[in-house]
Amino acid sequence: MLRIVLYSWFVFLVFLSDVVLAGAQRELINNTTKVKSKKCSAETFPDVEEYGKVFLGEFRDEDWLVTQNTWEQEMNERCNYSESVIRAQFRTDAILWYNAMFTQPRDGKVSAKTLKKKHLDQLHNTQSFIKRWILMLAFSPIMYVTRNNASAKSQDDANYQAWSPFSYPLASALSHGQRMLVMLKNINNIKMYNLLLSGDQNIRSSIDFGRMFASHGVHEKDGKLVEDKLMAGIGASHHGVNVPLGGVGNINPAGDIIGPEGQSYEENSDVSKGEYQLGHVYIRRDHFKNFDSLLMGVESTAPGRSSPFLTGGKSHDITSGIKDATLNKSSTGGQKWEVLLGSRAPATYGGLSVQINPTRLARLERLFEIVLSMPTEEQEELFKELLKCKATEANAFLREHPQLQEVFD
């Protein structure tokens, strides 16, 4: 009887919280006097056609190391999209995600804290998840549009756009603020979620945790999926994974040492600075009539925490979903897409997509197994290439890799 009463109270509180949150968001939208992003009368773009490997150029071994300078980035001026700024931010994206996947704690320590086996296992599982995510984007591959939910509109609509292969480096797809919609045809969203996080469709990973709420949603309309904005949602659909963006043991923007879940440690300290965390992957799961889906995106910091960036978008709270993108840094310290590339950027809502069917899923599962079984040195070289590639280059690279031929046969 007591259990029933407690459960009833829990359901009531969740409902009440949802109502309160929705009201709070509406009030913030009505009352917040933020500076809106203004349309440019004339946008100036670099004279560049290729934004993949050729655009980024060669990386030396030392370029892959993270230092305090890695986080210091130039920014575009409004409406003037500088080639050097875009290149530098894309290169930083690749460097930080490479380190997130491969950097290991020195002597099993972060600053003065000795990591227990459970922490090391958690780090290994988190790094494997990031690798699978990148592989999915390379294999599937990721597509984009430049107008909000343009591909979900009718083809008779003037704002309709068909999906195009993502023309920027894969690392940038995780780094400048938008979410990506993983459309699953005849695939259960829980199985896909498990596969990405644990490597097995039937095993739930220990690295994820449920989030009480998020300002993101998805719905199905006319047989297409639409990403919603500023949706007050509370329940089991929202999940998160904290990642060591920039690499465990390396230096974060504030000069502190990065922990295995993106925590901040001062030098010679064995206690993290609890308020600060950098690197959080948001994941929403949904089931609809024609599709299942995952909505995935990287946020600078976990809910209720603050990022170690000294300026721009420090806290993650209820107002984060409506803050002006010009005031916030991206997770890798650069600019949000709309400021980095203007009208050529992936749309803020419904701008990035990956589509997976059962045949593709079976091949993807085998790809994960082969790549994550490779010696670490071979994995490092493979991901150094993938992170720099645009979608078509990444897919071609995988197809040409001698150890991956069976995936494409």
Q: What is the pLDDT of residues 121-169, one digit of tens each?
A: 999 999 999 999 999 999 999 999 999 999 999 999 999 999 999 999 9
**pLDDT(290) > 70:** yes
Confidence check: pLDDT of 330 > 80: yes
Cα–Cα distance list, 156 to 86, 91, 147, 196 (Å): 34, 39, 15, 36
Over 50: is that where the pLDDT of 312 sits? no
Could you please report the per-residue DSSP string of 12-27?
Answer: HHHHHHHHHHHHHHHH
- State the pLDDT confidence band at 267, using cuts at 50, 70 and 90: very high
Mean pLDDT of the chain: 87
C-beta neighbour count of 278 within 10 angstroms: 33
Decide: 173 and 142 in contact? Cβ < 8 Å: yes
- Domain-wise residue ranges, the chain: 59-408
Helix (H) or strand (E) holding 354: strand 352-356
Q: Distance between alpha carbon 16 and the CA centroid of its chain, in Å? A: 30
Q: 17 pLDDT exceeds 50?
A: no
Q: How confident is the model at residue 15 (pLDDT cuts 50, 70, 90)?
A: very low
Predicted confidence (pLDDT) per residue in 248-262, tens digit: 999 999 999 999 999
Res 23 pLDDT > 90 = no
Q: Rounded distance, CA 247 to CA 250, Å?
A: 6
C-alpha span between 233 and 239 (Å, rounded): 12
Q: DSSP label at 404?
A: G
Of the chain, the percentage scoring pLDDT greater than 70 comes to 84
Please indicate whether residue 29 or residue 129 has the higher confidence score (pLDDT): 129
> Quick one: pLDDT at residue 36?
40
Q: Looking at the predicted structure, is the pLDDT value of residue 183 above 80? A: yes
Give the tens place of pLDDT for each residue, 35-92: 344 578 889 999 998 899 999 999 999 999 999 999 999 999 989 999 999 999 999 9
Q: Mention every residue, 6+ apart, whose C-beta is less than 8 A from residue 70.
A: 92, 95, 96, 246
Q: Is pLDDT at 225 greater than 80 in this prediction?
A: yes
Residue 170: band (very low, low, confident or very high) from pLDDT cuts 50, 70, 90: very high
77 DSSP β-pair partners: 80
- Spatial CA neighbour of 166 closest among 384, 360, 352: 352
Q: Beta partners for 298? A: 281
When pLDDT is cut at 50, 70 and 90, the band that residue 233 belongs to is low
Residue 346 to residue 260: CA distance in whole angstroms: 30
Q: Would the pLDDT of 34 be above 70?
A: no
Q: Where are the alpha helices (DSSP H) in 32-116?
A: 53-56, 83-102
